C-alpha cells in the first residue's frame, strides 16, 4: 500500500517529530478522523490534558450527533462494536461542558444508566461509567442521575461479569461524586456500595487507578461524617486497603488515610 | 493558504501513529496535544469537519481495531 503523500507545504507549524511520524503513518486511509481520535484517547487513558482537549475537539466534530448517539443506545439489535463506539464517543463528549449539557437535555442520563444493565463488554462498561462520572462532575446533574437509578446501577456494575478494574474505577469515581453531595451519601451507602467497593479493591489492589478511586470514595464518606468504623468493619476492608497502599507506595493511593487504624479494632 | 485536506489527513496520520506506539511517552502526548490544537483551529468550517469526520466511514461504522 502506498504511503500517503506528505504535504510538507502545509501546516508549517508542524515540528520535526510530527513530520517524522507522518512519514511512518500508513493506516489513515482505512480510518476516519473520529475513529482515529477515539483510538488516541484510548491510548492515553490517564492523560487528563488529552482527555480534555480531545473532548473539546470531538465536540466540535461530532457535537451535532449527540441526539443520534443517544438514540443508538436505545435501539435494539445494535452490534457490540457499534455500542462500544457510541459509548466511547459519548464518554469523550461528556467531558466538554456544552456537550455534557446536550447529553443531559436529550435524555442521555437515563440512556446511559439503562446501558449499564445491557451486559456490556468491559470497554463499553468502562466508557459508560466514565460518561456517568463526567456528568456527575457537575453538581446540577446529580439529581437527574439519582432519579435515573444511577446509584443502584453503578453498584451492580461493580459485580457484573463484564466488569474490569478500569470500569470499576470509573463506576466508583461516579459513586464518589454522587456521594460527595451530602444529600445522597446515605443513599449511596444504602445501595450496598461499601462492600462492593471493598470487593473491587480486594480484586486488584495493585491497580493504582482503581485503588485511588476506592480510597477516594472512603475519604468522601468520611468528609460527609459517615461513621468510618462501618467501613473498617466490612469484611476484608482493612486488608484490601493495606494491600493497595503496599502495592502503590509512591502514588496518591498512600495519601488517603480515611480508615481508622487497624489497631483500633 | 494551507492545503487543508492534505494537512488534515497528515495530522490524523500523525495522531494515529502516536497512538499506535507500544509505549507512550511525554513526547507522544505533546505531539497529540499539538496536532489536536492545529486540527481544532482548522475545523471551523463544514468542509473541514466533514473531511475529518467521514473520510471513509460513516459515523456508525464499528470501531477500528488495531
Chain A hits for B6, Cβ within 8 Å:
5, 7, 10
Residue with cell 461509567: A129
A66 lies in a domain?
A: yes
Chain A hits for B34, Cβ within 8 Å:
15, 18
Closest-approach residue (CA) in chain B for A12: B2
A112 lies in a domain?
A: yes
> Which triple of cell numbers denotes residue B53?
469526520
What percent of chain A shows pLDDT beyond 70?
Answer: 82
A182 lies in a domain?
A: no
Tell me which residues of chain A, numbers 106 to 145, contact chain B at a CB-CB cutoff of 8 Å: none
A143 lies in a domain?
A: yes
Residues A228 and A177: their CA atoms lie apart, in Å, by: 18
DSSP code, position B24: -
The domain total for chain A is: 1
Residues A178 and A196: their CA atoms lie apart, in Å, by: 16
Q: Report the pLDDT value the prediction gives residue A254, as an integer from 0 to 100.
A: 58
Going residue by residue through chain B, which has 66 residues, state the pLDDT in tens, using 9 for 90 and above: 455 677 788 888 889 889 988 888 889 999 999 999 988 888 777 777 776 765 433 334 444 433
Among the partner residues A10, A28, A82, nearest to B62 by beta-carbon distance: A82
Helices (H) and strands (E) in chain B, counts: 3, 0
**Interface contact A75, partner B, CB < 8 A:** no
A115 lies in a domain?
A: yes
The structure's pTM equals 0.82
Among the partner residues A11, A15, A25, nearest to B7 by beta-carbon distance: A11
Among the partner residues A7, A42, A68, nearest to B6 by beta-carbon distance: A7
- Segment A32-73, tens digit of pLDDT: 888 889 999 999 998 999 999 999 999 988 888 899 999 999
Is this prediction's ipTM beyond 0.95?
Answer: no
The Cα-based distances of A198 to A20, A116, A166, A256, B45 in angstroms read: 47, 20, 15, 15, 50
Q: Report the pLDDT value the prediction gives residue A124, as an integer from 0 to 100.
A: 96
Q: Report the pLDDT value the prediction gives residue A62, as an integer from 0 to 100.
A: 86
DSSP code, position B23: S
A90 lies in a domain?
A: yes
Sign of the CA dihedral running B22, B24, B30, B36:
positive
Between residues A8 and A220, the one the model is more confident about: A220
Domain of residue A53 covers 34-150
The Cα-based distances of A205 to A34, A195, A208 in angstroms read: 34, 15, 7
DSSP chain A: -PPPPP-TTS-TT--HHHHHHHHH---GGGS-HHHHHHHHHHH-TT-HHHHHHHHHHHHHHHGGGHHHHHHHHH-SS--HHHHHHHHHHHHHHTTSHHHHHHHHHTTHHHHHHHHTTS---HHHHHHHHHHHHHHHTSGGGHHHHHHTTHHHHHHHHHTSTT--HHHHHHHHHHHHHHHTSHHHHHHHHHTTHHHHHHHHHHH-TT-HHHHHHHHHHHHHHHHTT--HHHHHTSTTHHHHHHHHHHH-TTSGGGG---SPPGGG-
What CATH number is given to the structural domain containing A47?
1.25.10.10
Amino acid at each position: 500500500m502506498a504511503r500517503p503523500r506528505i504535504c510538507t507545504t502545509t501546516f508549517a507549524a508542524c515540528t520535526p517529530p510530527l513530520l517524522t511520524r507522518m512519514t511512518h503513518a500508513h493506516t489513515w486511509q482505512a480510518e476516519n478522523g473520529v475513529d482515529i481520535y477515539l483510538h488516541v484517547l484510548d491510548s492515553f487513558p490517564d492523560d487528563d490534558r488529552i482527555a480534555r482537549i480531545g473532548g473539546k475537539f470531538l465536540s466540535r466534530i461530532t457535537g451535532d450527533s449527540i441526539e443520534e448517539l443517544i438514540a443508538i443506545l436505545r435501539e435494539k439489535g445494535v452490534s457490540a462494536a457499534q455500542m462500544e463506539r457510541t459509548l466511547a464517543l459519548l464518554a469523550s463528549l461528556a467531558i466538554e461542558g456544552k456537550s455534557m449539557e446536550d447529553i443531559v437535555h436529550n435524555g442521555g442520563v437515563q440512556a446511559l444508566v439503562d446501558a449499564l444493565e445491557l451486559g456490556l463488554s468491559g470497554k463499553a462498561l468502562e466508557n459508560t461509567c466514565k460518561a456517568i462520572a463526567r456528568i456527575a462532575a457537575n453538581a446540577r446533574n446529580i439529581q437527574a442521575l439519582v432519579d435515573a437509578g444511577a446509584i443502584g446501577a453503578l453498584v451492580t456494575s461493580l459485580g457484573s461479569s463484564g466488569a474490569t478494574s478500569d470500569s470499576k474505577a470509573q463506576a466508583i469515581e461516579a459513586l464518589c461524586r454522587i456521594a460527595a453531595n451530602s444529600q445522597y451519601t446515605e443513599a449511596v451507602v444504602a445501595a450496598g456500595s461499601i462492600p462492593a467497593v471493598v470487593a473491587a479493591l480486594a480484586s486488584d489492589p495493585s491497580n493504582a487507578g482503581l485503588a485511588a478511586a476506592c480510597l477516594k470514595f472512603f475519604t468522601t464518606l468520611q468528609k460527609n461524617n459517615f461513621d468510618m468504623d462501618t467501613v473498617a468493619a466490612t469484611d476484608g476492608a482493612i486488608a484490601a486497603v493495606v494491600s493497595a497502599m503496599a502495592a502503590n507506595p509512591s502514588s496518591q493511593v498512600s495519601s488517603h488515610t480515611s480508615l481508622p487504624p487497624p489497631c483500633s479494632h | 493558504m494551507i492545503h487543508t485536506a492534505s494537512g488534515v489527513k497528515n495530522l490524523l496520520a500523525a495522531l494515529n501513529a502516536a497512538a499506535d506506539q507500544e509505549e507512550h511517552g511525554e513526547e507522544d502526548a505533546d505531539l497529540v496535544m499539538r496536532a489536536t490544537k492545529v486540527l481544532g483551529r482548522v475545523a471551523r468550517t463544514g468542509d473541514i469537519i466533514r473531511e475529518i469526520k467521514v473520510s471513509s466511514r460513516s459515523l456508525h461504522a464499528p470501531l477500528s481495531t488495531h
